[in-house]
């Protein structure tokens, strides 16, 4: 079994829509909790991860320039992450298909966590 990081991406507009009122925010959080609990119950979730704030900075290049971010070139924001356990990246992507961010037009980036020995 390997570890895969799921990066949850969404636009600011979709994020505002999902969290636009207390009722919508509660519904959204319940969907996320159900998604995480289902993966946890199946033994597929290693770490719930954490949500991330929308804003941020990026340090770039050899000049170490600090710019607004986190991703100035794209309209998608990484809203959070989780770590799942799967045999293959395809299996990890199948697990990502249940993610609530997809309902609002977002995406889930699936990345293999590289094993390093120190």
* CATH, residue 57: 3.30.70.1060
Query: Residue 111 has what pLDDT?
Result: 95
Domain-located, residue 23:
yes
Please give the residue range of the domain that contains residue 14. 2-112
Query: Residue 19 has what pLDDT?
Result: 80
Residue 4 clears pLDDT 80, i.e. is over it: yes
Query: Residue 71 has what pLDDT?
Result: 56
Domain-located, residue 73:
yes
pTM, rounded to two decimals? 0.82
Q: How large a percentage of the chain has pLDDT more than 70?
A: 94
Q: Quote the CA–CA distance of 95 and 83 in Å, as a whole number.
A: 11
Query: Residue 89 has what pLDDT?
Result: 95
Are 106 and 14 within 8 A, CB to CB?
Answer: yes
Domain-located, residue 16:
yes
Phi/psi region, residue 56 (left: phi>0; alpha: psi -120 to 50; beta: rest), is left
Determine how many CB atoms are found less than 10 A away from the CB of residue 85: 18
What's the pLDDT tens digit per position in 8-62?
988 888 888 888 889 988 999 999 999 999 999 999 999 999 888 877 777 888 8
Name the domain count of the chain. 1
Domain-located, residue 41:
yes
Domain-located, residue 35:
yes
């Amino acid at each position: 079994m390997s570890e895969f990081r799921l990066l949850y991406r969404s636009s600011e507009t979709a994020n505002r829509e999902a969290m636009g009122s207390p009722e919508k925010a509660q519904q959204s959080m319940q969907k996320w909790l159900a998604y995480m609990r289902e993966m946890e119950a199946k033994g597929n979730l290693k770490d719930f991860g954490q949500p991330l704030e929308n804003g941020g900075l990026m340090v770039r290049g050899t000049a170490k320039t600090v710019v607004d971010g986190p991703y100035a070139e794209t309209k998608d924001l990484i809203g959070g992450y989780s770590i799942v356990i799967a045999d293959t990246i395809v299996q990890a992507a199948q697990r990502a298909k249940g993610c609530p961010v997809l309902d609002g037009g977002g995406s889930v980036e699936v990345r293999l966590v590289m094993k390093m020995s120190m």
